Every structure is written in C-alpha cells, then in structure tokens.
Structure 1
C-alpha cells in the first residue's frame, strides 16, 4: 500500500484539499493508499479554512482533519511526498535531504510530456553541476548558464497557486487544478499495482 504525503504552507487549504480528494477518489476507484498532509510553516491543530471546507463540501468530499506541521516522522512514513509548489519542495529538501528521491511537486510528478521530462532532467543536472561548482569555488561555463536560463524559461510552472485569503472562486480553481492532477496520479498508481 502506497503512503502519500501532501505538503503546502499552512496545511489549511491546498494540501488538505488534496488529501481529502485523493482519499475520496482512491476509495471510489479501489486503489489502496494511505494519505496524509502537512505544512512547512504551521502549527498542529488549526482547522481547514472555511472556503476549503466549503469547496470540499460542494464536491461531496469529507475532510475532518486539522493542520499538522511537517515532521521527520511524516517524511519517513511517506513513500511519495507531493508538494503544492517548488518552494515547498525546496523547503522540504533543505530540512530533510534524505527525501530527495521521493519528493516532487504534484504537477511535476504527473507530467507525462517526454520533452518536458527531458528538459526537467537536464535542468536538474545543470543545477547539480552549478551547486557542485559553487561548493568548489567554480562556476558554470557561459554555454551552460545560457542553457540553464533557456530551460528555466521553457519548462512550464508546476506550482498550484495559494488561494489563502482569497475568494471561494479561487479555492474552487485550486481544487479543480488539484483534482485534474490527482486523476493523473491515480492513473500512475493504478499502473504501479499491476
């Protein structure tokens, strides 16, 4: 059984919506998973935001949880960690570098365009080389730097916008974006169990 952890900032909007939606969808499709969510900048026990609760209720999806701060235990528990933004992923990996092989943004993980995936792999290689060179007092060549900028400009954004403090419509839009990505995620998880 796969254990999936969703991560956002306060664990009151995006990640609890993702948790509840995936739990609901996986049960309906018979995909056996465990799901949790956490926040990189929160405290335990805050209620889900009113608009997130209303958005889930409109979709007939139950969510009874409260916020949880990201912990080493949660990171160790998860087989797969899906963040709502690249910033959350960076924050997670700064605190828990051992999670590097299982941490992705949600939209990045479900991306299936081979050209985008190749660009991502090349960009990550260039970032690794950049960090190694910086640690050793070196730098990227002009050609490498130009390629890095080109790839950064070409790769689509994988962030799910934060609706916190916004209108119900913004929460609905975020939930729809998460929902589309979860459909693709369930397709991946279904293939994995075959």
Structure 2
C-alpha cells in the first residue's frame, strides 16, 4: 500500500484538505493508499481551520483532523511526499535530504511536460549541491547559482495558494485547486498501477 504525506506550513489549511480529499477520492476509485499530512511549522494537536473543516464536511468527510509537526519519522513513513509549495519542498529537503527522490510539490508531481520535469530535477540537484557546500563551510558555485536563477525563471509556479486568514471563498478556491491536482494524481497512480 502506498503511503502519501502532504506537507504545508501549519498543517491547518491546505495539507489537511488534501489529506481528507485524497482519502475520499481514492476510496471512490478503489485505490488503496494511506494518507497523512504535516506542517513544517505546525504545532501538533492544533485544530484545522474552521473553513477547511467546513469544506471537508461538505464533501462528506467527517473525520477529526489535527495538525502535526513534520518529523523524520513521518518522512520515513512516506513513499511519496507531496508539498503544497516549492518553499515547503526546499525546507523539507534542507532537513531531510535523503527524501530527495520521493519529494515533489503536488502540482509538480502531476505535471506532464518533459522539459519542465528535466529542469526541476536539475534545479533540485543544484540546490542540494549548494546546501552541501554551505553545510561544509564553503560557498555555492557562482555558475551553479546563475544556472538556478535561469531555471527558476523558466519553471511555472507549482504552488497551491495559501488561504490562511482569508475568506471562505479563498478556501473554496484553494480546495478547487487541490481537488484538480488530486484528480490528476489519482489518474497517474492508476496508470502506474497498470504498468
């Protein structure tokens, strides 16, 4: 069974909505998976936002979700780590570099354009090399830094909008963005299952 971990900031809005929605949609399609979520700056045990909870309830999802802090244990548990923004992904890889091969933003993972995928892999590698240089007390390679800038300018945004502190409509828009990406995710998982 595939284990999927969603990661956002506080684990009170985006990642719990993704967790609850994916669990429901996967069950409807009879795809077996386990889903959890966590936040890079979460306070474990905090209730999810009232708008996120209301959206999940309208979807028929009545489970009680609480925030949890991202830990090495949760990253190790996951077969696939899907962050809600590239910032979350970079933060996660800074602390858990061994998760590089299984960590993507949600939109990046379901994206289908080969040239963009190649750019993302190169950018991730350059970012890891730069972090290693800094960790060893050195400076990142100037040519690599320039290359990172060039690649970043070409890559479309794979971030899911943050509704935190916003209106119910903001949460609805974010939920729709997540739902669309989850439909593509399930399509991808189904096609991988049939290989």
Structure-1-length-normalised TM-score:
0.89
1:156 alignment counterpart: 156
Aligned to 1:110: 110
Structure 1 residues 114 and 40: alpha-carbon distance in aligned structure 2, compared to 1, 3 A threshold: same
Contact 2:82 2:104 in 1 (8 A): yes
Task: Output the CA distance in 2 between the equivalents of 1:148 and 1:125.
Answer: 10
Counterpart of 1:99? 99
1:130 Cα shift? Answer: 5.0
Using the TM superposition, name which of 48-57 and 10-19 deviates more.
48-57
Q: Which 4+ stretches in 1 moved above 4 angstroms?
A: 128-138, 144-147
Q: Which segment is superposed worse, 184-193 or 8-17?
A: 184-193
What is the count of residue pairs matched by the alignment?
A: 192
Q: CA deviation at 1:157?
A: 0.8
In terms of mean alpha carbon deviation, does 12-21 or 128-137 score higher?
Answer: 128-137
Q: Could you tell me whether the CA contact under 8 Å between 1:133 and 1:140 is conserved in 2?
A: no
TM-score by length of 2: 0.88
How far the C-alpha of 1:26 sits from its partner, in A, is 0.2
Structure 1 residue 151, shift from structure 2 partner: 2.2
In structure 1, the residue matched to 2:35 is 35
CA shift digits 1:29-74 (9 cap, x unpaired):
0000000111111222111110101122233333322111112211
- Structure 1: gaps (5+ residues): none
Q: How far apart in 2 are the matches of 1:66 and 1:132?
A: 34
Instruction: Point out where structure 2 has 5 or more consecutive residues left out of the alignment.
Output: none
Q: 1:110 to 1:42 in 2, by over 3 A?
A: same
In structure 2, what is the Cα distance between the partners aligned to 1:73 and 1:132? 22
Tell me the distance in 2 between the aligned counterparts of 1:12 and 1:131: 29
Q: Could you tell which deviates more after superposition, 31-40 or 122-131?
A: 122-131
The 2-side partners of 1:133 and 1:42 are apart by 29
1:140 aligned to which of 139, 142, 154: 142
Once the two structures are superposed, what CA deviation does each residue of 1:118-165 show, in whole Å capped at 9, x if it has no partner? Answer: 222333344456556776657334xx6655433211210111121111
Instruction: Give 1:35-184 correspondences, 5 Å limit.
Output: 35-128=35-128, 137=139, 139-141=141-143, 147-184=147-184
